[in-house]
Structure 1
Amino acid sequence: MDLELSDDQRMLKDSVDRIITEHYDLDHRKTYMSQPGGWSQEMWSTFVALGLTMLPFSDEQGGLGLGGVETMIVGEAFGRGLVVEPYLSSIVLAGTAISHVATPEQAAGWLPGIMSGETIGALATDSAVIAEREGDGWTLNGTAHVVLGGDSATLLIIPTSDGLFVVPGDVTGLERRGYRLHGGGGAADVKLAGVKLTDADRLGGNGGTGRAIEAGVAWLAAEAVGAMQAALDLTVDYLKTREQFGKPIAVNQSLQHRAAEMLVEVEQARSAAMYAALLADEQDDHVRATGYAAIKAVIGKAGRFVAQYSVQLHGGIGVSEEHMISHYFRRLTAIGMVLGDTESQIARLAELGGFTSATPHFGTAA
């Protein structure tokens, strides 16, 4: 298997890395978070202009038709910059859900707006909404909690027992309570009371939700790697420059060992992110389910380890609002919880039988 980036992939990486380096230091990020909605329309337009919002969508749907590796490249760069624009919620989650279950006509109606950045989508992954058939249309009632990006979304994707429904953000009967998230970005608790929709608003089966969550896990894995690597780099630089008793604290062997352990966790997470990118093309549902459960568990564990020891090795400054390490800590903590925490993913992996079953091996031995 060739794990080297192609020339086009390296060009993409260089372009995204340059944008993040030039426009996403801590001061810029704070400015973006202070704007309406908690993110920058100007930066969002920059991502659109680079074609980043078109990456995951097929040529037939008007996208660039690129794959998981390209999305991983963008996710890692966004993780290093702690990007707060709604790429995960609108492009990865809502966009994937639509692209997997929409008819060509429906996709042509909704995806161009999402890819152009004019429409901000959000997928309700924790939905308790009931759809009832009434005449020629549908009526939706219920609630959805912690809808990522739901505070600023202009289009909501709501799963029900009768499939996914596309709900305009300004439809009558829709109420939202928006709030900011611990690691950046926003979310909303949503209530639908007598929301009227048509058959054209119904996407069909709920399979799109599962594929969207898998794409979200792959994105979070890449984002976590970017944040972890940046946190490790800052920590190693700090150990080399911070002096005590006339010597850099990096000469302390126990601190060297801790930094080495952090590096191991970063590389494990990187391997998980690469596996997540390659797993996107897997057709076996069970293989994907077990794979993504394991990936989410790995990045949750690794992210927690790196985040905590980055703060510890920085000392008091590591919890300061004015130091980037505290922001990496927050985002890595949030990544560990979003779309399923580590403990729930380990339990899910066990229920699915893990990567391999021991039964055939024991049977052969017997």
Structure 2
Amino acid sequence: MQSISRMLPVAAAIALLAGSTFAQEAAIRLGHAGPLSGGEAHLGRDTANGAILAVEDLNARGIAIGGRKARFVLLNEDDAADPRQGTAVAQKLADARVNGVIGHMDSGTTIPASRIYHDAGIPQISPSATNPKYTRQGYKTAFVMVANDAHLGGTLGRYAVETMKARNIAVIDDRTAYGQGLASEFVKAARAALPGVQITQQYTTDKATDFQAILTAIKGKKPDIVFFGGSDNVGGPMLRQMKQLGIDARFMGGDGICTTELPRLAGDGLLDNQMVCAANGGITGDREKDMARFIERYRKRFSMDVLAYAPFAYDAVMTMAAAMQKADSAEPAKYLPELASIRHEGVTGPIAFDARGDIKDGMVTLFTFRGGRKERIAVVK
């Protein structure tokens, strides 16, 4: 038997080797913020899942940054789609000195949180915030993966009067930064395309469940189209009540209601071809195969379908990681310039940002629903 004195150096060498291996691994912490509770929790979980899948893929690849193996860690925080909670979450992530942030989901939380990330020098990529105010604050840390409300709402406004031949439109928004911004851009584009179009506006909240009063007022106007600026958790019940009141009108909205959950939330209130909605992103040709593979992988990993923003959250993580690789550093100040000039091929298409941090060449896809399934109408640049 070996003496203890002879075994100690061997044990010390093993411990030293283990410590050396650990030292070669660098933990890179990314924050994700979105609504994981409340009426939009299903959409927040969708973005969180997209980010989780990206982190798992990065760790499986074993990429190196700064001469060390990178181990990505995701810190998930719930902002409950509430601006006040959103800023508290942002401060928490800033205090934790995360290397980057994916989020927030809603414009109403993203905009106030962006100042905190900017002051801390932390790069932030929102997978879904569309209000133009977010990237017009002059913050060099703010980026977004999708086209803004001017593009999204503008596309829908023109489509309503030029293609759907609407002449009498009722507009409802939920008074959030997202819903109000989208509705405003829709109205602006519709009036520009057809100066004589009749538009009636009503307002609700992002937590409302009873729309009898505003829908009754709308019914008297006999609109061709009801446009809603808000999310599916409100839009679905609104469609149910429209049917109950006998409102015979088409229904339109943006990416907030253009989700695979809408048929469940609307029930028998969603009729075939009644709905036209616009979702951010637009892929055709061979890229559709890449997206189909992503959707299948997502379904197997989380036992649920992609609802809306998961692919953009996935690409946001991958884009941030690509910038870190180019800079060979996960330090925000060092990789931020690479992020601003990045060219990355994602599952949602080519990713590059303009001087404001907006996605370049943002695409919009128009959809309808038939038999409870979302079907593409057209891709618009």
Whether TM exceeds 0.5 here: the answer is: no
Q: Give the structure with the larger helix fraction.
A: 1
TMscore range, shorter length: under 0.3
| TM-score for the superposition, normalised by structure 1 | 0.27
When Rg is computed on C-alpha atoms for both structures, the one with the higher figure is 2
Q: Give the structure with the larger strand fraction.
A: 2
